[in-house]
Structure 1
Amino acid sequence: MALHLLGLAALVLLYLGAASLMALAAVRVGADLLAGIDPFLPPSRRPFVGAMALARRELAVDILRQVFLAALLLATAAWRDGRSWRNRLALDRAEPNGMRARNLLLVLLLWPVLHIAWVSLTADLFGTSFGQGTRLSPLLTPGAVAAWLAYVVVLAPAAEELLMRGEVFCRARAVLGPLATILVTALLFCAAHVTGWGLARPVSLLPLALTLGALRWRTGRLWPCIALHGWSNLALIAYVLWPG
């Protein structure tokens, strides 16, 4: 059992690492070629492209990371399971829906309030700032802001759910019961969001991760998870950036 859990953690790192490397390489080579720069120049000879170009490159890496992650997961599922790859990733329901539509709607409606309250509480407990003086970078153009919103609300939730409540949930469910699978995928999801700021962000995401796992189990589908994940991200953005 322990080896299986370590294997799941290694799988998450492998997918995330591969997608990150692919995104970095694509942006480094592609952006340099578009700017007329030799992408293989040593750092000491590389011209400075400017702060705005660097901001656009960073955003492009974030976006492409999610695109490559989703593509890797879809390709792997198709290779492993052939025509039944949709069932593997819960894009087709293999079992009856165990959750009524009105209950799902109630979760979606109430979730932003609960999530924002929890994130605010954990920020206070860990002594971190949440929503204080946060503004979008002035270096981002309107088109870049639209791309960032699509990344946060659509691309990232879809790719992360394909990984966590799709592939990882499927592998964990093969050897664990429902509750243990929900807990394991939640912990891996939180661990994947550890940053230099410590444990504040992973702890703030734990209720979301557990709820997403419960939705995956009760509905048998990945779409409710993607919807809740994206809706949660949008609610946090609106709360943080709302003028006041």
Structure 2
Amino acid sequence: MPDPAPVAGSAQLRASEPASGVFAPAPRPSGWRAGLRLLGTLALVPLYLGAASLMALACVRVGADLLAGIDPFLPPSRRPFVGAMALARRALAVDILRQIFLAGLVLGTALWRDGAGWRARLALDRERPNGMRARNLLLILLLWPLVHIAWVSATAAYFGTSFGQGTRLSPMLTPAAVAAWLAYVVVLAPFAEELLMRGEIFRRARAVLGPAATIGLTAAIFALAHVSLPSPSGWGLARPVSLLPLALALGILRWRTGRLWPCIALHGWSNLALVAYVLWPE
């Protein structure tokens, strides 16, 4: 059954709610019921990410092997080596398909749960005025890359990582591969991740928690989802720390505007600015 808690931007909003994007959900559950709902919300993140990853791996493994004339069910000891470039293309394909499947899973769940109200569920509708003035939103979009780059650079210096030092695209990448990678970084990843974090998870958490706690929780989950194993670049925990301000800004933007599109725009614009900064010739 659809969750009766109203969503920012939906037709269920009370007429007495302010236009600042602060929405008043139905009475929130308390005690153990609230705890169970919150645990269920937290469990959805690895479930969505794991399912999307498995689907992407299966598709690339089987599809790429068939295109290369390889039996995808051969044991590892009998599999021919496909080459470094082919492995790199497969890795990129997995990343791209993961985001496509993630977006599909979230959209499919919203459509299944709320039917015609799926846009309102994910704050993709326009049934109420934007809670933030257009000039303020534009100012945030223009200035945020400077804040983000400064914070990421400071985080890298604190953790002793190699952020932005001698990073270059491989000269062996084809123009099509570069275009696909940029589309993944600037469009696909922001769209899919925001659908999950500031769309479905934000909505579910907001039905249990207040605005500040919801923003903090979704920011923490978003940052922890980007934890990587220690590597020669030294990122490890530095990456989630570097993403915390962005995650908090996206949560505040989602709360203030009551919409998801500004979050997707800021996320993609921030990624593009960071890529341009890292790859810009010295």
Q: Does 1:70 align with 2:103?
A: yes
Task: Could you list the structure 1 runs, at least 4 aligned residues long, displaced by more than 4 angstroms after superposition.
Answer: none
Output the CA distance in 1 between the equivalents of 2:245 and 2:128: 25
TM superposition shift of 1:13: 0.2
Q: Does 1:240 align with 2:273?
A: no
Moved more, 222-231 or 134-143: 134-143
Helix, strand or coil at the partner of 2:98: helix
Q: Does 1:144 align with 2:177?
A: yes
* Superposed counterparts of 1:115-130, under 5 Å: 115-130=148-163
Aligned to 2:193: 160
Q: Does 1:31 align with 2:64?
A: yes
Residues 38 and 208 of structure 2 are in contact (CA less than 8 Å); yes or no, is this contact kept in structure 1?
A: no
Identity of aligned residues (%): 82
Aligned to 1:181: 214
Residues 91 and 222 of structure 1 are in contact (CA less than 8 Å); yes or no, is this contact kept in structure 2?
A: yes
- Computing the radius of gyration from Cα coordinates, the structure with the larger value is 2
Residues 55 and 140 of structure 1 are in contact (CA less than 8 Å); yes or no, is this contact kept in structure 2?
A: no
Helix, strand or coil at the partner of 2:173: coil
Helix, strand or coil at the partner of 1:221: coil
* Superposed counterparts of 1:53-64, under 5 Å: 53-64=86-97
TM superposition shift of 1:56: 0.5
Aligned to 2:20: none
TM superposition shift of 1:136: 1.3
Output the CA distance in 1 between the equivalents of 2:229 and 2:36: 28
The structure whose residues are more often helix, as a share, is 1
Q: Does 1:14 align with 2:39?
A: no
TM superposition shift of 1:4: 3.5
TM superposition shift of 1:206: 0.4
C-alpha RMSD over aligned residues? 1.1
Residues 55 and 139 of structure 1 are in contact (CA less than 8 Å); yes or no, is this contact kept in structure 2?
A: no
Taking structure 1 as the reference length, the TM-score comes to 0.97
Output the CA distance in 2 between the equivalents of 1:96 and 1:218: 11
Structure 1 residue runs without a partner (length 5+):
none
Amino acid corresponding to residue 267 of structure 2 in structure 1: H
Aligned to 1:193: 226
**Residue-by-residue CA offset, 1:45-96 (whole Å, 9 max, x unaligned):** 0011111111110000000000000000100000001100000111114543
Amino acid corresponding to residue 178 of structure 1 in structure 2: P
Moved more, 133-142 or 67-76: 133-142
Helix, strand or coil at the partner of 1:38: coil
Residues 122 and 203 of structure 1 are in contact (CA less than 8 Å); yes or no, is this contact kept in structure 2?
A: yes
- Aligned pair count reads 244
Amino acid corresponding to residue 256 of structure 2 in structure 1: R
Residues 202 and 214 of structure 2 are in contact (CA less than 8 Å); yes or no, is this contact kept in structure 1?
A: yes
Structure 2 residue runs without a partner (length 5+):
1-33, 231-235
TM superposition shift of 1:130: 0.8
Output the CA distance in 2 between the equivalents of 1:2 and 1:129: 41
Output the CA distance in 2 between the equivalents of 1:114 and 1:125: 16
Residues 22 and 65 of structure 1 are in contact (CA less than 8 Å); yes or no, is this contact kept in structure 2?
A: yes
